[in-house]
Amino acid sequence: MSFFFDLDLSKNYSLYTVPLAWWLAHGSHVCAALMAGGLFNGLYDNLNPRTFCDIVRSTQTIDSALKGRILRAEAAAANGFETLGFYAASIVAANYAGLEARTLNLLSFTYIASRVVYVGVYIWVQHSYRTSLLRSGAFCVGIWTASALYVKAGMKLLEA
pLDDT at 44: 87
pLDDT on residue 111: 98
What's the pLDDT at 46?
83
Q: How far apart are CA 110 and CA 37, in angstroms?
A: 33
Q: What's the confidence (pLDDT) of residue 1?
A: 46
Q: b/e for 118-130, b at 16 or more Cβ within 10 A?
A: bbbbbbeebeeee
Each residue's pLDDT, cut to its tens digit, for the chain (160 residues) gives 455 556 777 899 999 999 999 999 999 999 999 999 877 667 888 888 899 999 999 999 889 999 999 999 999 999 999 999 999 999 999 999 999 999 999 999 999 999 999 999 999 998 888 889 999 999 999 999 999 999 999 999 999 7
Angle between helices 129-159 and 101-120 (to 10 degrees): 160
Residues in the chain, overall count: 160
**Distances in Å between the alpha carbon of 17 and those of 28, 39, 48, 104?**
17, 27, 30, 10
Q: Which of 88, 136, 95 is nearest to 114 (CA)?
A: 136
* Sequence-ordered alpha helix ranges (H) in 36-128: 52-58, 64-97, 101-120
Distance CA 56, CA 36 (A): 8
Domains of the chain and CATH, by start: 13-159 (1.20.120.550)
Other Cβ atoms less than 10 A from the Cβ of 98: the count is 12
Task: Give every CB contact of residue 126 below 8 A, 6+ residues apart in sequence.
Answer: 72, 132, 134, 135
**Given this model, what pLDDT does residue 10 score?**
85
